Amino acid sequence: MKIKRDGIYFLIFMGLVLFLFNVPGCKTNSINSTENLNPDGSLLNYMGCKGETASTFQGQDGVNQGETQECIIFEYAGNTLNLKHVNAYLNCCPGEITADILFQGQSIVITEKEAELGCFCTCYYDIDYQINNIGRGAYTISIQHGNEVRIQCTIDLSSNSQGEICD
């Protein structure tokens, strides 16, 4: 019986060792962790104006909110994350639309900018981004205009390679 008991203890011990090395909380999933990647991102293109709305200082635009819901659509393949910001609310005469993309640990902050506020109206745009050299893991994505966060979500690229999150 002693041999059987020692064998069982050995199996339990080995199971614990294997479990401890595979616990998700013990692994680091930072952008530069296991894959030693240096992420970079860019605004690829934008489409709009999808519907001009009269601007007022009170922010009343008379547009059906369901038609103008802001969303993030994402698709992840290899080490590339493609993002689409659907219904970005910007000036209808923005000049060039640009974006700063900042990587901080598990956060990706995208700040959208208009070159000029050329008209007294606003529009909804779809803006495409590409993030290269990004590893699997959970990331918080914030899209903002100036200091105002327009939409924020967390996506887990370890378990989801595509999805849509709406605010």
Contact 124, 87 (CB under 8 A): yes
Q: Mean pLDDT across the chain, nearest whole number? A: 80
Q: Count Cβ atoms below 10 Å from residue 32 Cβ, excluding itself.
A: 15
Q: For the ranges 24-28, 79-83, 150-154, which has the lowest average pLDDT?
A: 24-28
Q: What pTM was computed for the model?
A: 0.71
Q: For the ranges 5-14, 57-66, 68-77, 136-145, which has the lowest average pLDDT?
A: 57-66
What does R_g of the chain's alpha carbons equal in angstroms?
23
Each residue of 112-150: pLDDT tens digit? 999 999 899 999 999 999 999 999 999 999 999 989 999
Contact 83, 45 (CB under 8 A): no
The proportion of the chain whose per-residue pLDDT surpasses 90, expressed as a percent, equals: 63
Give the pair of three-digit tokens for residue 32. Answer: 């530069």
Each residue of 98-109: pLDDT tens digit? 999 999 999 999
Give the pair of three-digit tokens for residue 93. Answer: 């005469």
Phi and psi at 118, nearest 5°, equal -80, -15
Stretch 63-88: mean pLDDT: 86
Please give the torsion angle defined by the CA atoms of residues 45, 47, 48 and 50, in that order, rounded to the nearest 10 degrees. Answer: -140
Residue 141 to residue 14: CA distance in whole angstroms = 39
Burial class of residue 41 (count of CB atoms within 10 Å of its CB; 0-12, 13-18, 19+)? buried
The proportion of the chain whose per-residue pLDDT surpasses 70, expressed as a percent, equals: 68
Exposure letters 9-31 (e unless 16+ CB within 10 A, then b) = eeeeeeeeeeeeeeeeeeeebeb
Angle at alpha carbon of residue 142, lines to 73 and 122, rounded to 5°: 75
